[in-house]
Amino acid sequence: MKSEKWKPWALLAPSLSAVVLLLVIPVCFVIVYSFWLRAPSGADIPAFQLGNYAKFFEDFFYPGILIRTIRIAFETVILCVVMGYIPAYFFYRSESRYKQIFLLLIMLPFWVSFIIRTMSWINIMGDSGLINHVLIKIGLIETPFSMLYNEFTVLMGLLMYLLPFMVLNIYVSLEGIDKSLLEAARCMGCTEWQAFREVTLPLSLPGVSAGCLLVFVLTAGTYLPPMILGGPGNDMIANLIFKRVIGTLDWPFGSAISVILLSLLFVIVWTYNRYLGINQIFKSFQGN
């Protein structure tokens, strides 16, 4: 097979050059740009200085947004586990012949555009939205109360986006559990609950943690729910990047914030990979 050495490289050439040219090099550019200066006229001046980073950390405003991002990401992760584990377990244990259809259904929202799922919370929670309409109809309240534009609605938007990822990850790892282990536990006299606690739950944890990582990373990198469902005080780090780059065209500062976000995620992914291994994440995408 000596003569075939060039073949894999020929096959890889298009995708590798795409990723290197369109991802690796551009990300390097972001890093380089984060050290540049911005002239008052708006032009970017090549330089090597840490001013953009100093600006980020000079008072509590920007670090506050970073901390808020991390907090919201953790809240989303926890809510996703709480809301996602039981449905995943239901799919795993269900013997219904509609099981495949149930599974398909929980994945369907995944196919619906993020912006539609996000903006539709306005239909539900807006002043003349579904909830207010129903509450007024049954006479519980007289004037609509406003529920939108706070952290709670931002979380709703995030959950809508990320819950399918969590369910899928947990389900894939549950499906991987040898069911005879459960039967063995039951034969040894475990109750259903004990068998779950001693066998199923520990064996499904790789899927749970993979789901957590994915949800965390995706939450930290999104700006749409805060933009559409959040108020002025609910911006996350990605909103900041969007505003600096698209709004004020401050490329060097926008780049520096991007580098800060990337570093945060890199530390988290690296730590995760070191102790738990990253490959579980990719399993869930292969399943379908």
Q: Is 67 in the site for other proteins (CB under 8 A)?
A: no
Give the residue with the Cβ less far from other proteins, 59 or 150: 150
Q: Are 154 and 261 in contact (CB under 8 A)?
A: no
The Cα 249–Cα 33 span in angstroms is 13
Shortest distance (Å) from residue 25 CB to other proteins: 7
Shortest distance (Å) from residue 53 CB to other proteins: 16
Q: Are 267 and 200 in contact (CB under 8 A)?
A: no
Give the residue with the Cβ less far from other proteins, 74 or 114: 114
Question: Which residues 178-207 are close enough to bind other proteins by CB under 8 A?
Answer: 192-193
| Residue 243: how many other CB atoms lie within 10 Å | 16
Shortest distance (Å) from residue 198 CB to other proteins: 15
Greatest C-alpha distance within the chain: 81
Shortest distance (Å) from residue 203 CB to other proteins: 18
Give the residue with the Cβ less far from other proteins, 15 or 59: 15
Q: Is 172 in the site for other proteins (CB under 8 A)?
A: no
Give the residue with the Cβ less far from other proteins, 190 or 203: 190
The contact pattern for other proteins, residues 220-249, with x = CB under 8 A and - = no contact, is xxxxx---x---------x--xx--xx---
The contact pattern for other proteins, residues 16-55, with x = CB under 8 A and - = no contact, is x-xx--xxxxxx-xx--x----------------------
The site for other proteins, by CB under 8 A, has a size of 86
Question: Which residues 140-159 are close enough to bind other proteins by CB under 8 A?
Answer: 159
Q: Is 78 in the site for other proteins (CB under 8 A)?
A: no
Q: Is 99 in the site for other proteins (CB under 8 A)?
A: no
Shortest distance (Å) from residue 181 CB to other proteins: 17
